[in-house]
Amino acid sequence: MLTPEQEGLMAQFRAYLEESATSTMGASRGDAEHVERKTVDLYTLFGELAALKNEVRIESRQLKTALEQFRGLVEPLQTGNAALRSEIDRMHEDRRDVAQEALRPVLLELLDIRDRMAAGLEMATDKRATKHLFKRMCHKEWEVMEAWREGQEMTLRRLDQTLAARQVHPINVVGQPLDPRWSRALRVEWHKGMAEGVVVAELRKGFFWGEALLRPAEVVVNKREG
């Protein structure tokens, strides 16, 4: 099977032969003896044909070598490109990791502040506490206290929104069976009517950061002691 390049060369050669045959025929009219000498020299013709064939073979071999060399250059270039691409991806990933790692302690500190605010607010909203305070306060003071509590509630809500915007979400564990993947049991208590192994209280709220755990919940688990 000839390659297109070889076919092209063969066509050129055929055209050359035909042309030379035509000119030979023209010349025969003028110099028959000379023509006869040219046409009979079949040995030379086949010799030249063989030489030409050989030249075609050499050229196609050179072409093949050139193609291989080209391919040889393309492959490392492609490998280099792939390596560069993966290096860029890794750099992006590293940069993301570094940014995340830098953000982690800030988020944890924010959660600590949130814990403290929530603890204060919980006390302020505790019915027993308010009832107790209410007895001692005049109406005006009570209103001031309520306004202050509402303000605190709003601040806490804002903080929760800020955290949520960064994919930080609380883990709901109370009433669920203890899941040690994101809850750490610090103590046990026994509450009749509740299943064993269920979280009865949170000593500290846990949070996810996107899919990953940012801070485990610290919990009290229902269990009959002894």
Partner 1 sequence: MIKEVVIGIDLGTTNSEVAIFNEGRVEVIPDAQGRKILPSFVGIAEDGSILVGEEARNQYVVFPERTIRSIKRRMGESERVVMAGQHYLPQEISAMILKRLKEIAEGHLGQTIRQAVITVPAYFSDAQRQATREAGEIAGLQVLRMINEPTAAALVYEAGQQEGKKILVYDLGGGTFDVSVVRIEQGVVEVISSHGDNHLGGDDFDEKIVEHVLAHVQEKQGVDIRNSPHAMARIRRAAEAAKRYLSDHPYARIEEEYLLELKGKPVHLSLELSRDAYEEMITPFIDRTLEAVHIALQGSKLTASDVESILLVGGATRTPLVVKRLEEIFGLRPRGEVDPDLCVAMGASIQAASVQGQKVSAVLVDVTPYTFGVSAFGELYGMPSPDMFVPVIHKNTPIPTHKSEVFYTMVENQKHVEVKVYQGENLDARKNRLIGEFMVEGLGPAPEHSPVVMRMDLDADGMLHVAATEKQTGLSKRISISGALEKLDESAMQGARKRLEGLFGATEGDDLQDMRQEVVMARALLEKAERMLDKASPEDQEEMINLMEEIRQALTDGEHAALKQPCDELSEILFYLES
Q: Is 127 in the site for partner 1 (CB under 8 A)?
A: no
Residues 72-101 that bind partner 1 (CB under 8 A): 101
Among 42, 102, 195, 212, binds partner 1 (CB under 8 A): 212
Task: Tell me how far apart the alpha carbons of residues 103 and 205 are, in angstroms, rounded to a whole number.
Answer: 19
- Positive or negative, the CA dihedral 118, 122, 124, 125 is positive
Q: Is 169 in the site for partner 1 (CB under 8 A)?
A: no
- For partner 1, the closer CB: 183 or 207: 183
Q: Is 181 in the site for partner 1 (CB under 8 A)?
A: yes
Closest residue by Cα to residue 108 from 218, 219, 216, 220: 216
Q: Is 184 in the site for partner 1 (CB under 8 A)?
A: yes
Q: Is 188 in the site for partner 1 (CB under 8 A)?
A: yes
CA 73 to chain centre: 29
Cβ pair 177, 209 in contact under 8 A: no
Among 78, 164, 186, 190, binds partner 1 (CB under 8 A): 186
Q: Is 116 in the site for partner 1 (CB under 8 A)?
A: yes
**Pairing relation of β-strands 168-170 and 207-209?**
antiparallel
Among 114, 205, 215, 223, binds partner 1 (CB under 8 A): 223
Q: What are phi and psi of 130, to 5 degrees?
A: -65, -40
Q: Which long-range contacts (CB under 8 A, 24 or more apart) does 122-129 make?
A: 124/148, 124/149, 124/152, 125/149
Q: Is 218 in the site for partner 1 (CB under 8 A)?
A: yes
> Where along the sequence are the contacts to partner 1 (CB under 8 A)?
101, 116, 119-120, 122-123, 126, 128-129, 132-133, 177-178, 180-181, 183-188, 197, 201, 203-204, 212-213, 216, 218, 220-221, 223
